[in-house]
Chains A and B, each alone.
Chain A
C-alpha cells in the first residue's frame, strides 16, 4: 500500500491534491482530518428519515400535476443498459428510444441521457449526435470498483475518448468502509481530472454502505472531491435506490450548496420501476431541496424499466384507458 505511506507518490506524481471549496479547504489535509470531519457530520436519525420518506410518499398526485410529473420524470431518465450481453445494435435501439420514447406521440419529451459501458459510448454518441441527449458511460471497473487506480483511470480515459459526456464512477467501498477516506477522496479527484470536460457522477453504492450515516459521509466526501452528481447505486446490488437514502443525499447536496454555493446533482439508480416510485422521488426533491433540483440538469433517474411504465401511464392519461406492455417497445 505505497500510497498510504506516501499518498502522493503513486498517483499524483508529486502534485498536491486540489483543496475542496471554502470553507472546507482544510478538511482533506490529512487522513485524520477527513475522518474527523466526516465523523463530525450530524448523525442521521434512521427511523426519522424512513418516516419522513414514507409520509412524503403518500402524497396524492393527480391529473395535470401527474401529467407534469410524468413528463418531467421522462426528461430526467438516464436510459440504461449495463449488461454483459450489450451489443452495438442494442445501444442503437436504445438511442432511438431515448430520442423518441413514444413514437406515437410527438409531445413526449426525450430522455436526459443514455447510460452504457465505456466501450459502447462511441456507438451511443454517434446514434445521438445532434439530439442534445448526453451519453453517460460507467467507468472505474464498474460495478465492483476492484481494480488498480491506473486501470480505473485508463477506463475513464477510454470512455471520454469514445465521446462520453458524463462519467459514472464507483467509489472504492472497501477503502471507505475500512476508514481510508483520503484514499477514496484522492481517487475521485484523480477521476475528475481524467474526465476533463465530462461531468462526473459518483456512485456511492449505498446498498453496501449499510448505514445512512455512511451515506451522508460518502455524499460529502464525493462532493468535496468535486463530483458533479452523487448517485446511489450501480443497480447491481440490492437494496439499490430507496427513498430514505435519497432523502439523506438530497439533504447533503442542500447543505453543501448552503455552505459552499456549489450545486451538486442527485441520481437515484436501480430499483425505481414504476411511475409511482418516480413521482415519490419528485415529491421528495420538492420538499427537501426545493424546485431548484427539479430539472434534468440536477436530478436523474438511472433506470431501464421505468421509462416503459412512465409511457404506459402517459398513454393512459392521453387516451383515457389503460395501456399494456404491447404498446411500448421491448428493451
Chain B
C-alpha cells in the first residue's frame, strides 16, 4: 500500500462552460447498483436551472449561427475526446448501471457511435428535411429547418450514458442549446461528459448539465418563459403529464415521455431531431 492520499473528485454541475457547485450548496449521495456509496453529486436547484437557461440563451447565437459543417466538426471532436476517456466513463457506467465491464464498454462504444452519427447529421438535415417547393408563380419557394432555441432535456433515468447521448445529440445537431437534467441516481457519466464537452471546442453554454432530481427542477424548466422546447424522456407518468400541462402555458415544443424507457440501442432515426426544428419557408423572386 502506498501512503499517497487519495485525490477525491468533487462532482459538480456543468454550467455556462464552467463547473460550479450548486448555488444552493446541496449535494446528494450517489450509490452504485448494489447500494454502495460512490460519490456526492451536486444537487441542482431551481436557481441553477435559471442560470443554466441564461447561459443556454446566451449561446444560441453562436451555436445556431455556426455553419452546419462546423457544428458537425465540433460534435465529432466530442466523440474523439470521449473515445480517449472511454475507460473512465465505462467504469462509471458499470458502477451506476450494475453492468459487467464488457457490457459497460459496449454501452460506451454505442454512445460514442451514436454521437458520431448525430455529428454526421448536422449538415444533412437541411437536405433531408428542407425542400424546394413547387409554386405557381415566378418565385422560388424554399423550406429550411432551423433550430428551435433553448431546449430543456430531462435525460433518461436508467440509461445513464447511451440514453443521455441519445437525447442530447439530436438537440445539438439541429443547432439548439440544451439544459439537461441528468439521471438522478446515475449522474456520474453525465458529469464526465461535461468534462469532455468542456475540452472539445463546444462553446460554453451550449450544453449545461444539472445533476439532481427531474421532479424538482423539471417544473421550473417546463414553466420557464425563456425555454423554447422540452424533452420529457426522463420523466415518468404523472410527472410527465404535469410537465406537459405547464409547458403549454408558454407554448413550448414538447417531446412527450415514452410510456417506459425505450431500448436506446435501436436505430434512432430522425424522430428526436425533428421536434426541435422549425421550418422556415422563404419566397424568392425568380431571376432572369
Contact = CB atoms under 8 A, between A and B. Distances in A.
Interface of B: 50, 53, 57, 220, 223-227, 246, 249
A179 interface: no
Given A321-B224, A324-B57, 19 more contacts: A320-B223, A321-B220, A321-B223, A321-B225, A321-B246, A321-B249, A322-B223, A322-B224, A322-B225, A323-B225, A323-B226, A324-B53, A324-B224, A324-B225, A324-B226, A324-B227, A325-B57, A325-B226, A326-B225
Contacts of A324: 53, 57, 224-227
A326 B60 CA distance: 14
- The CB with the most chain A CB atoms within 10 A, among B50, B223, B246, is that of B223
B146 to A, nearest CB: 16
Contacts of A320: 223
A320 B226 CA distance: 14
Interface of A: 320-327
A321 B224 CA distance: 6
- The CB with the most chain A CB atoms within 10 A, among B223, B225, B227, is that of B225
A277 B224 CA distance: 23
17 contacts: A320-B223, A321-B220, A321-B225, A321-B249, A322-B50, A322-B223, A322-B224, A322-B226, A323-B226, A324-B53, A324-B57, A324-B224, A324-B225, A324-B227, A325-B57, A325-B226, A326-B225
B64 to A, nearest CB: 16
Contacts of B227: 324
Contacts of A326: 225-226
Contacts of A327: 225
A326 to B, nearest CB: 7
A95 to B, nearest CB: 26
A325 B227 CA distance: 11
B220 A322 contact: yes
A260 to B, nearest CB: 45
Where chain A touches its partner, the secondary structure class is loop
A306 to B, nearest CB: 16
Contacts of A325: 57, 226
Nearest to A324: B226
A321 B57 CA distance: 17
Contacts of A321: 220, 223-225, 246, 249
B249 A322 contact: no
Nearest to B223: A321
Nearest to A321: B223
Contacts of B57: 324-325
Q: Which 7 interchain pairs have the tightest Cβ spacing?
A: A324-B226, A321-B223, A324-B225, A322-B224, A323-B225, A322-B50, A327-B225
A324 B225 CA distance: 5
Contacts of B53: 322, 324
A326 B250 CA distance: 11
A327 B226 CA distance: 9
A293 B53 CA distance: 36
B18 to A, nearest CB: 18
Contacts of A322: 50, 53, 220, 223-226
A328 to B, nearest CB: 11
A325 to B, nearest CB: 7
B274 to A, nearest CB: 23
Nearest to B219: A321
Contacts of A323: 225-226
A121 B137 CA distance: 52
A6 B15 CA distance: 62
Nearest to A315: B225
Contacts of B226: 322-326
Contacts of B50: 322
A326 B227 CA distance: 11
B60 to A, nearest CB: 11
Nearest to A325: B226
A325 B53 CA distance: 11
Contacts of B224: 321-322, 324
A321 B226 CA distance: 10
A60 B223 CA distance: 25
A324 B249 CA distance: 14
B97 to A, nearest CB: 33
Nearest to A320: B223
Nearest to B220: A322
B11 to A, nearest CB: 26
A238 to B, nearest CB: 20
B58 to A, nearest CB: 10
Nearest to B49: A322
A326 B223 CA distance: 14
Contacts of B249: 321
A160 to B, nearest CB: 42
Nearest to A323: B225
Contacts of B220: 321-322
A322 B152 CA distance: 14
A319 to B, nearest CB: 8
A283 to B, nearest CB: 19
A324 B226 CA distance: 4
B123 to A, nearest CB: 29
A273 to B, nearest CB: 12
B221 to A, nearest CB: 9
A6 B246 CA distance: 74
A258 to B, nearest CB: 40
